[in-house]
Amino acid sequence: MMQQRIINRVEGDPHYHQYLQSFEPKHDKSSSAAIVLAARQIARTVEAKAIACFTVGGSTAQRASKKRPDVPIMAISPLKETARQLALSWGVYPDLSPPNSFDTENFRDMLRYACETATRKGLVKNPNDLLVVTAGFPFGTPGAANVIRVIPAAGPSHWDSSL
DSSP 92-112: EEEEEPPTTSS-TT-HHHHHH
Q: How large is the average pLDDT for residues 68-92?
A: 93
As a whole number of angstroms, the distance between CA 58 and CA 26 comes to 19
* 15-66 pLDDT per residue, tens: 776 776 666 656 677 888 888 889 999 999 999 999 999 999 998 899 889 8
Q: What is the reported pLDDT for 146?
A: 84
Longest CA–CA separation in the chain, Å: 48
Lowest mean pLDDT, pick from 98-102, 134-138, 158-162: 158-162
pLDDT of the residue at 161: 64
Which of 111, 110, 74 lies closest to 89, judged by CA? 74
Q: What is the pLDDT confidence band of residue 82, given thresholds at 50, 70 and 90? A: very high
**Cβ–Cβ under 8 Å, residues 42 and 48:** yes
Query: Number of C-alpha atoms within 13 angstroms, CB side, residue 26?
Result: 1
At residue 22, the pLDDT reads 66
pTM: 0.81
- Is 3's pLDDT higher than 80? no
